[in-house]
Amino acid sequence: MLSAMVILLAYGPSPQTRADEAPQPTLPIVELRVGDVRLAAEIASSGQQRYAGLSFREALDEDAGMLFVYPAEQPLVFTMRNTLLPLSIAFIDASLVINEIVDMDVGPEQLFPSRAPAQFALEVNQGWFERNGIEVGTRVSMR
């Protein structure tokens, strides 16, 4: 199951890079299946890793993203603070089903709250979900 594997990979030693200085080093990567599509996702599970996210990254491979892992379902709010790439985000519930997809344009002082509680959030290049036919209700799994 995804959540058990994520816990194993995500709670190991983490780099201590300040999000306000530079991109954080690459985090542990897992291969996800979003519907029938493969995606290499970095796992951001600690508060520092989630805070830094994809800030200051200048590029993101087409089939790559970042999976934000939270201990339980909760309302989530994301921002594009220090983010240089337009992104799309999927809010994912505890049963690993996408319950919302939002495009996030580059620019400060924007907030992107989830409409419903979510335990995971998956950021990818803007338009990736649409290009791959991924919609609300799609299940996410680990290969």
| 143 residues of the chain, pLDDT tens digit each | 444 333 333 333 334 444 457 889 889 999 999 999 999 999 999 999 999 989 999 999 999 999 999 999 999 999 998 999 999 999 999 999 999 999 999 988 899 999 999 999 999 999 999 999 999 999 999 87
Residue 4's H or E segment, with its range, is helix 2-10
Please name each of the domains of the chain with its CATH number. 2-12+27-142 (2.60.120.1140)
**Alpha carbons within 13 A on the beta-carbon side of 104:** 30
**In terms of pTM, does the model score above 0.75?**
yes
Nearest to 132 by CA among 93, 121, 140: 140
Identify whether the C-beta of residue 124 lies closer than 8 Å to the C-beta of residue 37.
Answer: no
Q: φ and ψ at 26, to 5 degrees?
A: -55, 135
